[in-house]
Structure formats: structure tokens, C-alpha cells
Amino acid sequence: MKRAWNFSAGPAMLPEAVLQRIASELLDTNGSGMSAMEMSHRGKEFLAIAEQAEADLRELMAIPDDYRVLFLQGGATALFATLPMNLANGSGRADYVRSGHWSDKAIREASRFCKVNVAADCEGNGFSRVPAADEYRFDPEADYVHITPNETIHGLRFPELPSVEAPLLADYSSSILSEPVNVRDYGLIYAGAQKNIGPAGLCIVIVREDQLQGAREGTPSLMDLQAQAKAGSMLNTPPTFAWYVAGLVFQWLKAEGGLTVMAERNGEKAALLYGAIDASDFYSNPVAAECRSRMNVPFFLADPALEDTFKAEAKQAGLLTLGGHRALGGLRASIYNAMPKEGVQALVDFMSDFERRYG
Ligand SMILES: Cc1ncc(COP(=O)(O)O)c(C=O)c1O
């Protein structure tokens, strides 16, 4: 058996130590005689796993006591609709920052349930930088402001948060746990699990209690955040196995030294890869240096006709899933927490060799 370096944007690599632990306790988890995926979600064995996972996440992210943590289904996409149904019930208006593909999706979905004001739009700069402070046009009546701190496809990251009056809601799907964040800056943070947390099928929501005012009439009960908070995320059967694996990832993160250590490592990995791209005319990345994602690195070949050869040869070399998203084309390397520096070094070495042969 040989593990490849997998640069998928999600579902993505998990830490090898976590996969080994899952394998070792697949038939008998915590002496229960059952796999975690066979446990009743209301049984004491699973409840202990669920509570430990939440406690570890709270410790890692320093989540204050007046924030609730929910473990929901439906991915981040379900939250695109859940947010306006639960939180756009004052003026019925919400500010969204359009910084790339995923915020655009969030806007399209939210527009079905509230009046969206696009407070800033990065399309004009080709999604190559986040808005400057004076480019925002917020609606003073907005019930909330929504941002996507890391755009997975465009490889764009907010180096600083916009200064806002309304509660800030953030889709952290592709950068949660990659560095410390100040949870207090947000009314709500959400993230699909399949990048930095665990398997797909789980979406984590961290929400300040004062935001749980009750969903509007007609909201499906599973999308009612207040009801989910009251039910401990168990209005129905939650994604138990994904929740268990998320808990193991949180334990791994703690053992590795927590989010400050992750931020250091991720900074080094990103510097290595962007350094290789910038040092050559053969590769390019269009994003302004200060806004470059440390998780998702899109890059382009000077001659796009070589892309298929690049991907095929990379695969031969054990470097997988380097194709860009179909919306953008080109190539992309996602380098989440679980990707070691060694994997990024292997990619950089391959890129240099490829340029020598085809450049
Ligand atoms: C930033 C961001 N938001 C939302 C999504 C959608 O997530 P899901 O497929 O879990 O609904 C993705 C998926 O890649 C993403 O990267």
C-alpha cells in the first residue's frame, strides 16, 4: 500500500494518524464492542464521543460560552438557505460580499429568501483581491453581513475583516482550523467538514446565542437553528461517523500543538508553493500577494495546452487531483492542515522538473 499526495479541494486528505486510529478501532470503538458508525446517536457511548468532540473544538478555537456549536447535515450549501431563514428576519435584508465562486453561490441561494445587497463585488478586479475598506457599500438596515474568508476556487483570502455594524456571518468551509480566529468577531461561523474537519456529510455551525431568535414561519424544522440548538443537533439522526472522525481530527490538532502551530506550518507550505510559482514565467497565480489563500493555490501554465500532460505526469508521480475547478480551469493545489510540507515539496520538485522538460 502506498499513500499518494492528494491535493483535492474536498473531500480532502485527512491526517494519516487519524486514518490509522479509525482503522484500529473500527470494530470496537472505546471498548464498546461496536464501531462508532454502529452506535445509537442517543446512547451513552456516542454521546460521550459527541461531547468530547465539542469540548475539543471549543478549546482549539477558544469558543466563548455564549456561543453554541452545532453539528448539522446538508453541507455548507444547506446553510446558504438556513442563514436567511433564521437571521434575515428584521428588515429582511442582508449584505453579502461577492469575492468569488462560493460567495456567489451563497448570494444566489440567499436571494431566494431575503433581499440581498451586494456590498462589494470583486468581479471587477477578476477576483484577484478582496475589497479595499472604502469599496464597501453596506446597507445600514441589513440584518447581517456575509463573507467567505477563504474562496476555495479563486484562492482568495481576506487578510483583514471588513469593519461592520451588523453581525458578521462567515463561510469558513475551506480555512476553519487553519489558523486561530477570534470567534467574538462573528455572529456565526459555519464550515462544511470535508476539508479541514473530517468526512463530508457534516457542517459545523458556531453561533452566538443572541442570534438564535427563531426561524421564520415555514422553515423546515431541520433548518431551524434555534430548534437544532435546543435538541443538541439531534432533531434527527446526525451524521454520527463524520462527527466521530471530526472529534479524532480535533484530538490530532491538539496533540500537534493547536491552531498557532497549524498557522505556522500552513504559512511555510504556502510560501514554498507561491515562491516556486513566482520564481518562474512558466507558472502564474493572479491573486494579489496579501490576499493569497494559504489553503487553495490555483495556478496556470503559460501554455494551457500542457495542462493535461501536467496532470497525467503528476499522477504518475503520486501527486493527485491537481486540476483546477471547472468554473476557473487551470490547476489547483489544496494544501489543508493534513498535507505535510513534504507533500508540498514533492509538488514543487515535480513542477521544477516539468518546467525543465517542457519550458
Ligand atoms: C467556501 C465553500 N463554501 C461552500 C461549499 C459547499 O460545501 P458543501 O458541498 O459542503 O455544501 C464549498 C465546497 O467546496 C466551499 O469551498
Q: Is 102 a catalytic residue?
A: yes
Using the atom order of ligand 1, give the atom closest to the CA of residue 75: 10
Using the atom order of ligand 1, give the atom closest to the CA of residue 74: 11
Q: Which residues of the chain have pLDDT under 70?
A: none
Rounded CA separation 80/161 (Å): 20
Q: Is the pTM of this model over 0.95?
A: yes
Give the pLDDT confidence score for residue 326 in this predicted structure. 86
Supply 133's cell numbers.
475598506
Domains of the chain are 26-256 (3.40.640.10), 257-358 (3.90.1150.10)
CA distance to 5, 163, 276, 341, per residue, from 345 (Å): 11, 37, 10, 6
Catalytic residue among 95, 121, 171, 224: 171
Whether residue 10 has its Cβ less than 6 Å from ligand 1:
yes
Distance 336 CA to ligand 1 centre (A): 14
- Residue where the block lists cell 462589494: 120
CA distance to 16, 160, 172, 281, 340, per residue, from 267 (Å): 21, 16, 18, 23, 12
Name beta bridge partners: 145.
95, 168
Give the pLDDT confidence score for residue 305 in this predicted structure. 96
Using the atom order of ligand 1, give the atom closest to the CA of residue 79: 11
Q: Is 185 a catalytic residue?
A: no
Q: Residue 279 contacts by C-beta under 8 Å, 6 or more apart in sequence? A: none
Q: Is 315 a catalytic residue?
A: no
Phi/psi at 165 (5° precision): -95, -45
Phi/psi at 52 (5° precision): -65, -40
Give the pLDDT confidence score for residue 2 in this predicted structure. 84
Q: Are 92 and 110 in contact (CB under 8 A)?
A: no
Whether residue 293 has its Cβ less than 6 Å from ligand 1:
no
Q: What's the chain's average pLDDT?
A: 97
Measure CA 189 to chain center: 10
How do residues 87-144 score in pLDDT, each as one tens digit? 999 999 999 999 999 999 999 999 999 999 999 999 999 999 999 999 999 999 999 9
| Spatial CA neighbour of 354 closest among 294, 297, 296, 306 | 306
Give the pLDDT confidence score for residue 180 in this predicted structure. 98
How do residues 166-214 score in pLDDT, each as one tens digit? 999 999 999 999 999 999 999 999 999 999 999 999 999 999 999 999 9
Distance 198 CA to ligand 1 centre (A): 13
